[in-house]
Amino acid sequence: MNTDPDCIFCKIVAGEIPSFKLYEDDETFAFMDINPVNPGHALVVHRAHHRDLFEIPAADVAIATRAAQRVAKAVQATLEPAGMNLLQCNGPAAKQSVPHFHMHVIPRHMGDGLTMNWDLVQGDMDEIGALAGKIRASL
Ligand code: 5GP
Ligand code: ZN
């Protein structure tokens, strides 16, 4: 499987960088975003390193999307937000900051003021870890 030793998400998948893991199987890996735009913000990747939507094989998009649906259902069951966005960013103008194809699972609330291009603000690690435990219990 294609990996990049300099890629932060490849390092997370390999366990070289710690993460609040939610789910993993032979092809996918899901974990909490440490700069959550809303509580419960999670990321889902295919284990294989592909830069973006234009490089990743279609079959791997399908696999990652199925895992994202599974994680989204667990986030929904745990937090019961009023809405949920799945978001996938490609290139600098779309604010892609990590060049390893990934899907954001983002709980939404009425009037939460979230716009498409948000600034990264580090979250409270105790809160993120506690939420990860609750979501894992729904997977
Ligand atoms: P992008 O802007 O590329 O669509 O999203 C990348 C996401 O990865 C950002 O939301 C950012 O908070 C998250 N991120 C960056 N570095 C790390 C990390 O080391 N650990 C975790 N869990 N998330 C990260
Ligand atoms: Zn990678």
**Which residue has its alpha carbon closest to ligand 1 atom 13?**
33
Q: What is the pTM of this model?
A: 0.96
Q: Give the residue from 100, 12, 103 showing the smallest Cα distance to 50.
A: 100
Q: Is 49 exposed, middle or buried (0-12, 13-18, 19+ CB in 10 A)?
A: buried
19 close to 98: Cβ distance less than 8 angstroms: no
**Res. 18: pLDDT tops 90:** yes
Does any ligand 1 atom lie closer than 6 A to the CB of residue 85? no
Reported as a single tens digit per residue, the pLDDT across 57-87 is 999 999 999 999 999 999 999 999 999 999 9
**Which residue has its alpha carbon closest to ligand 1 atom 1?**
96
What is the pLDDT at residue 116? 82
Reported as a single tens digit per residue, the pLDDT across 98-139 is 999 999 999 999 999 998 888 889 999 999 999 999 999 999
Structural domains in the chain, CATH included, are 8-138 (3.30.428.10)
